[in-house]
Amino acid sequence: MRICPRCGRETSAVIRGLCPRCFAEVYGVARVPREVRVEACRYCGAVRLGGRWVDSGGTFEGAVDSVVRWLSERLQPVEPLAGVRVESWEALTRPDWSTRILLRLRGWTRGGVEVEGEAVTTVRLEPSICPRCKTRVSGEYEVLVQVRGAPAGRLSRLVEEAVRRAGVGDAVIEVSESRDGVDAYLTHRGAARRLLKALQRLAPLRVAGPYREFVGLTSRGKRRTRDTYVARLAGDR
């Protein structure tokens, strides 16, 4: 056992001549930025982390938690620590577009000595709009699923149940009835494929498509296309 020259306590582990507690108080555990700025969708609450939009559950607390999880994987430990992670966090101000938080940290040396510490930072959410909400707000769609072969009312109930089972409600812009059946407009192809699978589990359907059409160029000059699927109840011609 050794005596820590700062606090006078006995310690079995020494880091830079100090016990783990004093080391954390003097040097800290990680290099934590004073402020973390990320884009947050003002419609759904998703946050943009590392170039990818991440769902946060639509709450400020959820957005902050997503940011903390992302930050924990990227923190740099204070030397000579080999690693560090965020154990938990606490809001020091009410979660909002700007939230001051306390991070509880755990670091460790290559020899397995653990160090606990705390740090304070501010998570600042910058209002933006994610691609999915931009599509929904603009009313533009990427996929049209046409359901045919029965009265529109029956097909509407079928589509509504399929949307619920597939969990694609956020991707549905509109479901409209017509003389021919029901049309479902969706924001992206993955959601359309899940919807079609759910429809086929609920009813005997024959699916044709996708029929792809060119609809223009994106702001970056890439081709923008739109898909159409036709799903008919078995027996309908």
Structural domain includes residue 113: yes
Indicate if 103 and 153 belong to the same structural domain.
no
Confidence at residue 73, expressed as pLDDT on a 0 to 100 scale: 94
Question: What's the whole-number mean pLDDT along residues 21-27?
Answer: 95
Are 75 and 119 in a shared domain? yes
Strand order across the beta sheet in which 98-108 lies:
52-54, 47-49, 35-41, 114-128, 98-108, 83-91
The DSSP string of 211-235 is EEEEEEE-TTS-EEEEEEEEEEETT
Do 124 and 143 belong together in one domain?
Answer: no
Q: Average pLDDT in the 117-136 region?
A: 89
Domain end position, chosen among 81, 107, 129: 129
Q: Is the dihedral of CA 5, 6, 7, 9 positive or negative?
A: negative
116 and 25 assigned to the same domain: yes
Would the pLDDT of 1 be above 80?
A: yes
**Domain hosting residue 9, numbered range:** 2-129
Q: Mean per-residue pLDDT for 130-154?
A: 84
pLDDT tens digits along 77-113: 999 999 999 999 999 999 999 999 999 999 999 999 9
Does residue 149 register a pLDDT over 70?
Answer: yes
Same domain, 146 and 195: yes
| Same domain, residue pair 103 and 20 | yes
Q: In what order do the strands lie in the sheet with 223-233?
A: 172-177, 181-186, 143-148, 223-233, 205-217
Average pLDDT (114-126) is: 97
Domain count, the chain: 2
Give the residue from 94, 129, 164 where a domain finishes: 129
> Within 10 A of 182 (CB to CB), how many other CB atoms are there?
24
- Asked whether residue 134 is domain-assigned, the answer is no
